[in-house]
Amino acid sequence: MREKYFRFTIQSGSAKVYNCHKVTRALDNAAREDGTSPKHLFSCIGLNKAVIIKVVDPAQARDKPLPGRVQTRAIKTKVHLSFDDEDITKGGAAVQFDHPDREQALADLAGLNRGLGEDVFKRDMGILEAMAKLPSLDPFLLKDRLMAYSAEVDPSYFAISPAEWDRISRRIRVKIRPMVLMAAQGQADVEGKVQLLLDKLWDSHGLEEFAPFFRAMNLPVDKTAEIMQAWKGITFYEIEYGELTPKVQQFGLWIKDGSQPIDTIHRTDRATVDKLRESIRSKVKRNLADIATILSDYQDSYDELFVHRKGAQKFGGFLGRSSQNFNNLGACLNEVSHAFLVWNEMSSRYKNRQMKGANLIEMFEVLDDIFGARDA
């Protein structure tokens, strides 16, 4: 991500960004007014002013996949600390979380060090580790992965309503239920056992009862929790994709029919507009194709086992790749969703979303930057 467009990333509302700084400032302001103590996410004060950002590794982003294959995306997690507490878009310094010197860098920038106490250090690093393992920072996924901390932090840090949490959770449980039903067969109280096993799968605890099922699909039993977390994540993204589709169609229609400059521009600028438009179009198309491939493989293998009862080989294979599928699906959706949000915000400033050439170029450069340098 080029620093020139940093503010668009921060302000987009995209799941590419977790703006802990914004939530913390609101809580601190409210606490000063009513005389209470805010329940911060991190124990380390400096980290509560951080912005967590997901980026695709630009080196890998340039690799072109084989025809018909999903492009593998390496997603990096950056912890950004601003130089200006009043306006975090003015720049700052960032720590890449997988960097070997991250502990020293986080100590220097945020004040996170073992001197705060081993328990404090491990707790805050554990939260960052959980964030780093996610391909995107959607409120649902964050709350799911950080549930162990939810009782001790303010709910504002998890920007999802109870009704929305329940709606998504129910849909995911419905998708997982057929496998649980298989594992519960032969029990005296099948329905009671199904609910118990669903709760265990949801919390990734006490999964020993699923060992025979995983062995039958040639899946590593010691990876049961990891695989189930990825399956939940994939199903969440499946739901998100269904809800994002109409927005993507709106964006695509504008690219096709509404993205011509309304003024007369120099031919070199015209060439720039056309080149950027085609680059964005092809990158969105690539991402949507990868999303469709992953979700089609998911549904086909799922139906073969749970609907047509033809065997578990395909679904076992899909679950065996679940972490990779979760990562790639999240990265693709994250970029497309981010692009829509930025386009919607920037283009809505103009009547009927019709723009002059200079404004188009500015917006196209921002949108193209979202997808990295895959076509460079």
Alpha carbons within 13 angstroms on the beta-carbon side of residue 289 total 12
Q: Which domain, by its residues, includes 100?
A: 3-160
The answer to whether the Cα torsion of 157, 159, 165, 168 is positive or negative is: negative
CA 218 to chain centre: 29
341 plus 246 within the same structural domain: yes
Reported confidence tier of residue 2, pLDDT bands at 50, 70, 90: low
Question: Is the domain of 138 the same as that of 265?
Answer: no
| 171 shares a domain with 38 | no
Model confidence at 220: pLDDT above 60: yes
**Residue range 47-59: average pLDDT?**
85
Percent of the chain whose pLDDT exceeds 90: 56
Q: What is the pLDDT of residue 62?
A: 47
Q: Scanning the structure block, which residue is given the tokens 């076992």?
A: 316
CB 276 within 8 A of CB 375: no
Per-residue pLDDT tens over the stretch 269-284: 999 999 999 999 999 9
Last residue of a domain, one of 160, 180, 209: 160
Mean pLDDT over 240-254 rounds to 95
Instruction: Say if residue 293 is in the same domain as residue 316.
Output: yes
Query: With b meaning 16 or more CB within 10 Å and e meaning fewer, what string describes 185-207?
Result: eeeeeeeebbebbbebbbebeeb
Rounded to the nearest angstrom, the gap between the alpha carbon of residue 304 and the centroid of all alpha carbons in its chain is 28
> So what's the pLDDT on residue 63?
52
User: Which is it for the CA torsion 372, 246, 138, 293, positive or negative?
Assistant: negative
pTM for the whole thing? 0.90
Residue 221, pLDDT > 60, answer yes
Return all residues near 92 (Cβ < 8 A) that are at least 6 apart.
Answer: 80, 81, 82, 83, 84
The reply to whether 154 and 177 lie within a common domain is: no
Residues ≥6 apart with Cβ < 8 Å to 105: 95, 99
What is the per-residue DSSP string for 94-138?
A: EEETTSTTHHHHHHHHH---GGG-HHHHHHHHHHHHHHHTSSS--
Q: What is the mean pLDDT of the chain?
A: 88
What is the pLDDT at residue 375?
42
Which band of pLDDT confidence, cut at 50, 70 and 90, is reported for residue 60? low
Cα gap 246→337, rounded to integer Å: 11
pLDDT in tens, 10-24: 777 788 899 999 999
Say whether both 127 and 169 belong to one domain: no
Measured between alpha carbons, how far apart are the two ends of the chain, in Å?
14
Tell me the average pLDDT across 37-48. 92
d(CA 74, CA 189): 45
- 327-374 confidence digits (pLDDT tens): 999 999 999 999 999 999 999 999 999 999 999 999 999 999 888 754
Minimal CA–CA distance to 338: which of 372, 294, 296, 362? 372
Is the predicted pLDDT of residue 66 greater than 80, yes or no? no
Using CA atoms, how far residue 39 sits from 26, 45, 175, in Å, is 12, 11, 35
Last residue of a domain, one of 127, 145, 160: 160
pLDDT computed for residue 182 by the predictor: 80
Angle CA 250–253–258, to nearest 5: 115
Last residue of a domain, one of 160, 190, 209: 160
Which one has a higher pLDDT value, 205 or 121? 121
Tokens of 306: 């749970």
Q: Which helix or strand (DSSP H or E) is residue 143 part of?
A: helix 139-145
Are 142 and 286 members of one domain? no
- Asked whether residue 167 falls in the same domain as residue 291, the answer is yes
Look-up: residue for tokens 């699909």? 217
Angle between helices 162-184 and 190-203 in degrees, nearest 10: 120
Residues 222 and 300 in one domain: yes
Contact partners, residue 176, CB within 8 Å, separation at least 6: 198, 201, 231, 232, 235
pLDDT at 88: 82
Residues 218 and 290 grouped into a single domain = yes
Specify the number of domains making up the chain.
2
> Is 286 in the same domain as 302?
yes
User: According to the model, what pLDDT value does residue 329 have?
Assistant: 95
* pLDDT of the residue at 68: 60
Q: Residue 370's pLDDT is what?
A: 87
**Token digits for 255?**
């690219």
Whether 245 and 229 share a structural domain? yes
**Residue 58 binned pLDDT confidence (cut-offs 50, 70, 90):** low
> What pLDDT was estimated at residue 1?
46
